[in-house]
Structure 1
Amino acid sequence: MTRRTPQDQPRIGTQEEQEEDEEGLEEVDWRSNEGTFGLDSEKFVEEQLRTPWMTAMKAFLESGALAMDSQL
């Protein structure tokens, strides 16, 4: 049987401490996936237009016929 020490337990902070931790998140430079993966947006759109099922899926999503939220 293992004995649990205080280091094993999650630390519960005060509301003020949590808010201080979250303040730094707003300042983070969130780069887009386009910069990370080098995606050529124009070429991607061209490929979408050449793929029949992708064209249909795009039309369904834009018209609101399909829910974009997977939890629905």
Structure 2
Amino acid sequence: MVKLNPEPISDEDAAKLKAEFAAEDQAMAEAALADYLPMLQREDQAMKPNFEQMTDAELKACAIAHRDEIEP
């Protein structure tokens, strides 16, 4: 079990810790976001229908299903 230090730390030490955690949080966020846009693009591409491989019946069904998105 970890015991917490009951003694307060100085404002200077608190500011140093805050800056250190902020820098770590920033680095972690940047690392996580570095691949975010490419991941979204891959997911978007995977979700797009391949019209060239669809049969005529599939194309008609797709057009009917998305008619509201196409027509103003």
TM range (shorter): 0.3 to 0.5
Max Rg structure? 2
Q: TM-score, normalised by structure 2?
A: 0.35
Quick check: which one's helix share is greater?
Answer: 2
